[in-house]
């Protein structure tokens, strides 16, 4: 079941520390009856004070949602949330997924190849991935943590795009993103030099959003591996 997609003013960024640093000033200017969504990146030590300021300000809002992306901040916000009318979301970085679009290539037939393995020549022949592996690829890690997350007051989990159709969510509300997480480049405090170029991977577009590397399905066929791929699964509307 998808999370109720209430219109919220979204602040911050899932991986960029600047998003958190700028948040107190932004929150100060917003009317307290506006529903807000605070995206919190992994909080390194010198951002902990800023996090506390943000939580203090969010406590003044009638309808605040906080999306966290490291276990420590989840724990902290879980405590902050007690007794408050606020929403806690497990962010996409914290919800491990095998979301690499290359997995779709592995699910489709490939040519034989002779390789060296342990000093011997071995012919690699394609066979479909084992069912256990496909099930592993299809299930985000948060799903098996459902009990623990509910005890911590988590209301929903973010899931990004993934190569295989999502498994049943074990009673968790799911916020589906329309892009997938590929990776995060550690912040070096150099905003001008942040990010990087765009590449194509398994026919999908891989690009930087600040230091967060995302992927999404390429618009139209680009001829690079599309013929190998099963059709992209069609999901319900989702949050960017």
Q: Which residues, 87 to 126, sit near another protein by CB under 8 A? A: 93, 96-100, 102-103, 106-107, 110-117, 120-126
Long-range CB pairs of 68-71, under 8 A, 24+ apart, other chains included: 68/40, 68/94, 69/14, 69/15, 69/40, 69/41, 69/42, 69/93, 69/94, 70/42, 70/43, 70/94
**Nearest approach, Cβ of residue 240 and another protein (Å):** 18
Residue 205 as a binder of another protein (CB under 8 A): the answer is: no
Q: Which residue shows structure tokens 């491990």?
A: 96
Residue 135 as a binder of another protein (CB under 8 A): the answer is: yes
| DSSP run (H or E) holding 114 | strand 113-117
Alpha-carbon radius of gyration of the chain: 20
**Nearest approach, Cβ of residue 161 and another protein (Å):** 10
**Nearest approach, Cβ of residue 200 and another protein (Å):** 9
Residue 209 as a binder of another protein (CB under 8 A): the answer is: no
The number of residues that bind another protein (CB under 8 A) is 74
The DSSP secondary-structure symbol of 2 reads: B
Asked whether 211 and 16 are in contact (CB, 8 A), the reply is: yes
The interface region with another protein, picked from 82-90, 183-191, 220-228, 229-237 by CB under 8 A, is: 183-191
Asked whether 104 and 229 are in contact (CB, 8 A), the reply is: yes
Half-sphere exposure of 225 (CA within 13 A, CB side): 19
**Nearest approach, Cβ of residue 237 and another protein (Å):** 23
Q: Which is nearer to another protein, 29 or 188 (CB)?
A: 188
Q: Which of residues 44-73 bind another protein (CB under 8 A)?
A: 44-48, 70-73
**Nearest approach, Cβ of residue 234 and another protein (Å):** 21
């Amino acid at each position: 079941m998808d999370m109720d997609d209430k219109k919220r003013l979204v602040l911050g960024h899932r991986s960029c520390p600047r998003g958190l640093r700028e948040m107190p000033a932004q929150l100060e200017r917003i009317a307290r009856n506006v529903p807000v969504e605070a995206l919190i990146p992994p909080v390194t030590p010198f951002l902990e004070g800023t996090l506390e300021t943000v939580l203090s300000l969010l406590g003044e809002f009638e309808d605040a949602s906080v999306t966290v992306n490291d276990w420590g901040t989840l724990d902290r916000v879980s405590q902050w949330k007690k007794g408050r009318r606020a929403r806690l979301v497990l962010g996409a970085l914290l919800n491990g997924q095998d979301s690499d679009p290359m997995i779709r290539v592995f699910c489709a037939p490939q040519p034989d190849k002779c390789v060296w393995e342990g000093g011997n020549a071995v012919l690699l022949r394609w066979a479909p991935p084992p069912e256990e592996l496909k099930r592993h690829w299809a299930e985000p890690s948060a799903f098996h943590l459902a009990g623990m997350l509910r005890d911590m007051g988590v209301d929903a989990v973010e899931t990004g795009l993934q190569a295989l159709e999502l498994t049943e969510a074990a009673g968790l509300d799911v916020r589906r993103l329309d892009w997938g997480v590929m990776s995060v480049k550690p912040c070096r405090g150099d905003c001008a030099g942040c990010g990087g170029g765009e590449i194509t991977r398994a026919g999908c577009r891989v690009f930087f959003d600040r230091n967060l590397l995302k992927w999404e399905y390429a618009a139209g066929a680009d001829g690079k591996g599309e013929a190998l791929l099963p059709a992209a699964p069609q999901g319900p509307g989702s949050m960017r």
